[in-house]
Structure 1
Amino acid sequence: MIAIIDSGVANLRSVQKGFECVEADARIVEDPLTLRDASGIVLPGVGAFADGISKLRDGGFVEPLLRAIEEGKPVLGICLGLHFLFSESEEFGHHAGLNVIKGRVVRFTNNLPVPPFRKGGVGGFLKIPHMGWNRIRIEQQAPIFKGIPDGGFFYFVHSYYVQPEDESVIAATTEYGPRFTSVLWRDNLFACQFHPEKSQALGLQLLKNFASLT
């Protein structure tokens, strides 16, 4: 069973339905003790960092989640779930994260010029938040990329992105003004900035790949 952590700040049912589409047994869990017996763990999240990390701590999920990562259990962070893994976030102030990955969560700067190849933007500037389809550039072949081509498109919705201190954890990048980390991989730990459950065939392939590791 893959445990989807109910952090209170995500559309959990859509994540669960994504796993159902690839015939994986994924269940939304409210009891942190269930993480002990899960074969894999998904940490989703949308919205504000401070609210999400507080609900994660108040729900008692932090310690069993960190233990599962340390023990080598496959873990997948999605969107805000990626941000939670970092040392700190500058979203609406400075807030401590789980510090699993050394680094920061920072905001896209305003007035990023629209590159010649991209349509849209307002007055020649990129819109913030970064919302919609964008491609990934695979930097290293993580196990969750099986069957996923370099340059594949995924669905993003975010105003903040991660800056890992150790670039060896970067599995894929995406360009939106700066080139930022869109997929992270370290041993049994995976996390993506985009929403695989909203990314059609390639997103489902990523969920299937993760499920195969559990």
Structure 2
Amino acid sequence: MARIPPSARTPTRQFRRLLVVGLLAVLAVITAVLGYQVPKSSSPSASLSPWAASPSKTPRSEHRGALGEADGVVPDGVTVFDDAIPAVAKLDPSLLKALRQAATAAADDGVEFYVNSGWRSPEYQNQLLREAVSKYGSEDEAARWVATAATSPHVSGDAVDIGRSNATAWLSEHGAEYGLCQIYKNEPWHYELRTHAIDRGCPRMYADPTQDPRMQQ
């Protein structure tokens, strides 16, 4: 094989050297770009847990003690026909049937039965009682508005609080025809089922829950 003169090998070595230098330069640029992006991705908003971006995925530990629909909390706009809402679905079947019959008749008069509260879990009832004590300043005063979990007809599913004045006005006039009666004078929204009212009318109302013998248990 013929020997290649040194002068003929020089261009090849220069080309390789330039190639290496070029590759090093490209790597340097890539490193610089990546180094610039890392601090940006570690901004306060990006460093938050994935749970923080989606309230529906908040860890249970952050909701410890919180109550929701499963405990009887009622979202806005719920009617007596909303079976997907536990506060409605867990009402006593006879009470719910009477409410829906009355609501169907009331609809002919342009009145809709919205539910402010229905069935409640004992935990929800106790929370409402604590809030009432804080609001009214004493357990005695709070008892005029909120019963204990052991005595509340809401916990047993035997009471419903109807929203909007036109609905309570309609029930005040026609509720007895369906066995639906206002029980306390200070709570025009609170209704329970009294089947004998269909023939004899609703019983005399208590001034407030403290006068109700059921609350003395």
TM-score higher than 0.5 here? no
The structure where strand makes up a greater share of residues is 1
Q: What's the TM-score once normalised by structure 2's chain length?
A: 0.24
Larger Rg: 2
Q: What's the TM-score once normalised by structure 1's chain length?
A: 0.24
Structure with more contact order per residue of length (Cα contacts < 8 Å, sep ≥ 6): 1
